């Protein structure tokens, strides 16, 4: 369980916005802001591997070996066990490094959300939590990321009936405020 409570909800409660730690969420799947190596890193990635234990890294290595020897491309997503986390699954996606994709950053960030949600549905989960992908080390401006992530999530949920909760988890209250000021949910 988590003691964090929703700051705000959208789309009839199917989207919630909270301040908290992604590793502590009581949802069926959490999303990791990974890098293309899938072998861990700092930020959310480091926190998820520390909290989830070695089973996650083991599966990531196997995915690299069998499916992505060159690394997971930006915008794509893969799923592993949640290891010791409450979540059953970790969905790993690679955000764009801001300024390094010749103007295709927005499309790539949208792909991260769309592909992660697609995998969540494929895994039959009904709840999934996202960190704010690419807005840390990868430098994506928080206001622009809010616009893109909210539009992409709403678009996905408009044709999906399975997901009951998409939880957007911000590490700091100020980050959640920026999201709330810039999101484009219709209700
Ligand atoms: N729970 C929720 N949000 C968090 C947490 C947490 N425990 N920790 C950080 N954040 P980042 P990126 C927020 O840098 O920008 C890694 O080294 C943070 O405030 O984790 O996609 C990977 O291996 C920020 O808003 O991910 C890659 O190399 C957001 O999570 C690279 O960083 C994302 O910050 C990926 O960079």
Ligand 1 pocket test, pick from 43, 138, 143, 182 with the greatest ligand atom count within 8 Å of Cβ, gives: 43
Q: Answer whether residue 68 is part of any domain.
A: yes
Counting the structural domains of the chain, the total is 1
Q: For residue 30, how far is its CA from the centre of ligand 1 (angstroms)? A: 13
53 and 83 Cβ atoms separated by less than 8 Å:
yes
DSSP for 112-147 reads HHHHHHHHHHHTT-SEEEE--TTSSTT---HHHHHH
Alpha-carbon distance 138 to 141, whole Å? 9
Q: Answer yes or no: is 1 within a domain.
A: no
Q: Ligand 1 atom closest to Cα of 94? A: 21
Whole domain around residue 43: which residue ranges? 11-182
Q: Which residue in the block uniquely carries the two structure tokens 């430098």?
A: 139
- Of 137, 144, 136, the C-alpha closest to 181 is 144
Residues pairing with 167 in the sheet: 16, 129
Flag whether the pTM goes above 0.85.
yes
Q: How many CB atoms lie within 10 A of CB 29?
A: 26
Atom of ligand 1 nearest to the CA of 133: 21
In a domain, 17, yes or no: yes
Structural domain contains residue 45 = yes
Structure tokens at 165: 């909760």
Active site amino acids: 45
Where residue 134 sits, what CATH number does that domain have? 3.40.220.10
Look at residue 6 and tell me if it is in a domain: no
CA 6 to ligand 1 center in whole angstroms: 20
Residue 5 falls within a domain, yes or no? Answer: no
Let me know if residue 162 belongs to a domain. yes
For each successive 10 residues of the chain (187 residues), what is the average pLDDT? 72 97 98 98 98 98 98 98 98 98 98 99 98 98 98 98 98 97 95
Contact 173, 19 (CB under 8 A): yes
* CB-CB neighbours of 32 under 10 Å: 31
Residue length of the chain: 187
What's the 140 CA to ligand 1 centre distance in angstroms? 11
Q: Check residue 4 and give its pLDDT.
A: 66
């Amino acid at each position: 369980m988590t003691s964090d409570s929703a700051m705000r909800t959208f789309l009839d409660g199917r989207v919630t916005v909270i301040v908290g730690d992604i590793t502590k969420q009581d949802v069926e799947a959490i999303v990791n802001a990974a890098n293309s190596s899938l072998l861990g890193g700092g930020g959310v990635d480091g926190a998820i591997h520390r909290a989830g234990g070695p089973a996650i890294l083991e599966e990531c290595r196997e995915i690299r070996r069998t499916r992505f020897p060159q690394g997971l491309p930006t915008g794509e997503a893969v799923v592993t066990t949640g290891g010791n986390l409450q979540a059953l699954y970790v969905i790993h996606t690679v955000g764009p490094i801001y300024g390094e994709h010749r103007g295709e950053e927005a499309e790539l960030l949208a792909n991260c959300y769309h592909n992660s949600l697609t995998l969540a549905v494929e895994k039959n989960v009904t709840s999934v939590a996202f960190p704010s992908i690419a807005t840390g080390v990868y430098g994506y401006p928080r206001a622009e990321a809010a616009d893109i992530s909210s539009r992409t999530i709403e678009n996905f949920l408009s044709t999906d009936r399975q997901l009951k909760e998409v939880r957007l988890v911000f590490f700091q209250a100020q980050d959640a405020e920026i999201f709330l000021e810039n999101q484009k949910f219709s209700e």
